[in-house]
Structure 1
Amino acid sequence: MPSPSPIYHNSAAIEWRFQSHRRSPSQSELHVQSFHRLLPNYAETPLHSLQSLAKELNLGHVLLKDESLRLGLPSFKILGASWAVYRTVIERLGLDAQSFLRQNEQYLDLSLLGAAAHRKGRDLKLVTCTEGNWGRAVARMARYMGIPAVVYVPAHMPETTRNMIRGEGAEVRVVDGDYDVAVEATKEAAMVDGSLLVMDISWEGYETVPQFVVEGYQTMLHESDEQVLRVTGGKAATHVIVPVGCGSIAQAVVQHFKSAVREPIAGSAAAVLAVEPDTAPCLKTSLENGRATGVQTGESIMCGMNCGTLSTTAWPTLKSGVDAAMVVSDIEAHHAVLELEALGATSGPCGAATLAALKKACCIENMKARLGLSESSVVVLYCTEGSREYAAPA
């Protein structure tokens, strides 16, 4: 039976390393970073040092990677969505991604892709499913390219969130059900009309696009590596905490911080703590069962993480490389939002969940020691979304 504990400690992850035979960043990763730098509103997002919190928890450093404004949107999702949309459209048109970037080294005009599709007589349309930020990011890319987008959303999504997606020029279609039901409706729609399906969750037979998404998140991780060294005077991250959702961002984080190539540079791999809402503990449940396990979800203010099924491409990496999986409640995430606000950082509940997880881990008997958290630790919290409206839990 699954443990009633809010945290699952995966002792097998201590020795696991993501095996890469590269001695330097892959060409794909280099192109991802070049691509993002050419997009409108590109800027490095800040890394905040939460010194008072580090002192309270008796840790060396607690650092918050703030994704509340990324490429003009209030979430990190645009990093994965932009690269995945770009690569998907490029491949559908039979173009070369690297050549297109080289031809646009000074300014990337994405409308050229829409124009190329029109010249080839192809009516491209993007289709996706979202709890909020992902769909808006895909819609933003479609607007840049001048092609239509249809975004499927679960019925519980607030009208304000739907309107933000519509504000990007996309059509919003509401599905009577939760996120997993909406995913199935999206898959069916794409099969019927041949639209370009751009999702950050994978399943059997649909793996390439979600891998593009994971690649896209490398920009954030490389940024934070450099920022951490600057803030700490040359000390690399020893622990990182990341939200899960369907698993794509957690997969990117594990692969990055457990890379066999990175270790000689950073000194050692970083421990990865993954956090989920207690309404959707699909990773924790899967780790406890030793196999990918879907769960029935409930409503949560952490709606962007409220996924009942893990991405199939993420699961093998998470199973082997996540050091601990934790669940937090809505009230804990809400309190973390307020605490970050008091510290001068804005966040929504999904982003603040990483802080809630850190505080909870430090309070569980023996868990702090088991995770190796000490006065010499450098902890990075990935705060994945900006402030947004939600109903505060009682």
Structure 2
Amino acid sequence: MKRYELKNKISISESTMAGVLHTSHIYFNPKVLSFEMSPTANILEFHQKLPFYVPTRLVEAPFVAKRLGVRHVWVKDESSRFGLPAYKILGASWATYRELETRFGPFQPWSNLDELREQLKDLDITLVTATDGNHGRAVARMARWLGLKAHVFVPDDMVHARREAIKNEGAQIEIVNGTYDDAITKLTRIGGDKYLVISDTAWEGYERVPTWIVEGYGTIFREIDEQLRTLEAEQPHLVAVQMGVGSLAASVVRHYRSPNRTTHILGVEPTHAACVLRSLEADELKEVPGPHISIMAGLNCGKPSPLAWPLLRNGLSGSVAVDDSFAEEAMRLLAQDEVISGESGAAGLAGLLAVLTERNEADTMRQKLGIDQNSTVLIISTEGATDPQAYVRIVGSMPNI
């Protein structure tokens, strides 16, 4: 193994396992804080009104636990959320509702979407967003549920299956020549009373909707708390969460870095799109120029959300950037525990594999993350097989779940 020491507790390692070169880059945060959060509305109650709501399953993963050398690993499996193969609908639905209510409300009390849609029937509104895949499909689904139109900007390298999934929700797709960040640039230029921009990243003058998206993801952790209580299981000592623009990770920080919790949080990004890690190193927002080439397509973002940044800067215990081989290994390992996880979905575990199993300094890494052989770890598998051909190529087959 080659190892290079840099400043600010950063390390880069390269190791060969089964003939495959794995690379990763790690940063440990010297100033992790807790956060006092203002109470928010009962978002879980809102989600329970949506069609076919059920909590997604919390899976105990003994094969993963053995590989990581811990007592328990729990996987929150977001491969089927309201019939969609990813968690994004939680943030998109709440943010869309709140923005509609702000612009056109207040609404009369409603108990299901039919009653809400009736109140919106005279609106000529298009929901507009930019996406690497899952968020755009979620916004399109919300538009379809509410009888509205949807327009989605996508980067030109998005795989065919994800484009078609968005089109099948009834949305109009506009392909942008460039990266996800180029699609966001297009989105920032949209204006007019007939458009509602539903973005999960913020920019100057646009923070309200991304705030609600972060809030919407909180349903995941409300469900996990209840599921662990039912199982009489302890809260996690460590949560591994994928980054992207940082909205999901911000929601993790909001929940697990409150004053009454001591949970460590590890953020995970692709090597070529490690915008959060680079920002943490510099202690200020930094951009990683594209192209962002990784099979973890949902995480191929060059700029962290400015809204999420304060929570990430002070709430993450550490951040790791990993190459695709770790994500592929994580997908195969999760399949052994009967979890279908796509490339971005498996990224949290990919980061843990890089930090805990690929280094001579594993004991030091564990100390920094506050875990040992008796610890409990939580992974959020944020998507299922959103690119089925790639899944079969990497894993070999679909598990029979």
More strand by share: 2
- 1:266-277 → structure 2 map (5 Å cutoff): 268-277=261-270
In the TM superposition, residue 194 of structure 1 has moved relative to its aligned partner by: 4.8
CA contact (8 A) 1:155 1:177 kept: yes
Alignment coverage as a number of residue pairs? 367
Residue 322 (str. 1) matches residue 299 (str. 2) = no
Q: Deviations over 1:86-109 (max 9, x none)?
A: 11112221325xxx4xx2236663
Matches of 1:27 and 1:317 in 2, distance apart?
17
Partner of 2:50: 39
List per-residue Cα deviations over 1:163-213 (Å, max 9, x = no partner): 11111111000010100011111221x226751111000011100000010
Q: Indicate if the aligned counterparts of 2:64 and 2:333 stay in contact, CA closer than 8 A.
A: no
Q: CA deviation at 1:293?
A: 0.4
Contact between 1:113 and 1:145, CA under 8 Å: does it hold in 2? no
Query: 1:49 offset after TM fit, Å?
Result: 0.6
Match in the other structure for 1:80: 91
Query: Among 276, 289, 294, which residue is 1:296 paired with?
Result: 289
Query: Where in structure 2 are the equivalents of 1:7-156 lying within 5 Å?
Result: 7-13=26-32, 16-20=33-37, 26-28=39-41, 30=42, 32-96=43-107, 100=108, 103-105=109-111, 109-115=115-121, 118=122, 122-156=123-157
Q: Which amino acid aligns with 2:216?
A: G
Distance 2:237 2:294 in 1: 30
Given the alignment, which residue of 344, 347, 351 partners 2:341?
Answer: 347
| 8 Å contact kept, 2:113–2:145 | no
- 5+ unaligned residues in a row in structure 1: which ranges? none
1:211 correspondence with 2:205: no
CA distance in 1: counterparts of 2:266 and 2:114, whole angstroms: 36
Give, in angstroms, the shift of residue 146 of structure 1: 0.7
* Corresponding position of 1:388: 386
Q: Does 1:166 align with 2:159?
A: no
Give per-residue Cα distances to partners, 1:38-71, cap 9 Å, x unaligned. Answer: 1012100011111233234331211100000011
Partner residue in 2 for 1:179? 180
Q: Which stretch of the first structure deviates more once superposed, 51-60 or 316-325?
A: 51-60
Report the equivalent of 1:249: 248
Aligned positions of 1:218-229 closer than 5 A: 218-229=218-229
**Which residue identity does 2:35 align to in structure 1?**
F
TM-score of the aligned structures, taking structure 1 as reference length: 0.89
- Change beyond 3 A, Cα 1:222–1:251: same
Q: Distance in 2 between matches of 1:207 and 1:178?
A: 22
| AA in 2 matched with 1:270 | T
Distance 2:90 2:372 in 1: 32
**1:9 deviation in Å?**
0.6
Distance 1:291 1:54, change over 3 A: same
Provide the TM-score with structure 2 as the length reference. Answer: 0.87
Amino acid at match of 2:243: V
CA distance in 1, matches of 2:298, 2:35: 27
Instruction: Tell me the SS of whatever aligns to 2:268.
Output: strand
> 2:178 & 2:192 partners in 1: Cα distance?
20
Gaps of 5+ in 2: 1-5, 13-24, 395-401
One-letter amino acid of the counterpart of residue 293, structure 2: E
Name which of 340, 345, 366 aligns with 1:368.
366
Give 1:91's aligned amino acid: T
Instruction: Check 1:18–1:387 CA distance in 2 against 1; reply closer, same or farther (3 A cut).
Output: same
Which whole-Å CA distance do the structure 1 matches of 2:111 and 2:192 have between them?
A: 37
When the two chains are superposed, the root-mean-square deviation of aligned CA atoms in Å is 1.8
Structure 1 residues 328, 229: CA separation in 2 closer, same or farther (over 3 Å shift)?
farther
